[in-house]
Amino acid sequence: MARKVVNRKELRAQADAAEARGKTKSASKEKATKEKAPKEKKAKEPKKVGEKKPARKKAAKEARMKAYWGVFNSGMKRLALFEYADKKAADKKVQELIGSSRAHHFVQLVKEAISE
């Protein structure tokens, strides 16, 4: 559908002409309304009794973590725990366990929270 093109200059001229015709009437109306009704303030809604603001939740403090190497069996049971720097010792422990029981064992990184 095509729309009719709006000529803004013509509309503005019409608005100015209407304003000029009604300026004498509108000026007296404006004075009357200013005298009758001073600025009205918006009435605040009263607070509801017993309604509390929702409490802010405190952000949970993130616990500091420390990395270890854990030796696990095929059932994910941790058999030994080594410091992060001692990965060679953890690998050696896995080889000992595999040699003695022929069951599958492996080394995995473990992170635990540091208790201060």
> What number is the average pLDDT over the span 62-89?
94
Q: Where are the domains of the chain?
A: 65-113
DSSP annotation string for 58-79: PPPPPPPEEEEEEEEETT--EE
> What number is the average pLDDT over the span 39-54?
70
What is the reported pLDDT for 105?
Answer: 95
Residue 95 confidence (pLDDT) above 60: yes
What is the reported pLDDT for 69?
Answer: 97
What is the reported pLDDT for 4?
Answer: 79
Helices (H), the chain: 8-36, 87-101
Rounded Cα distance between 46 and 5, Å, is 50
What is the reported pLDDT for 5?
Answer: 78
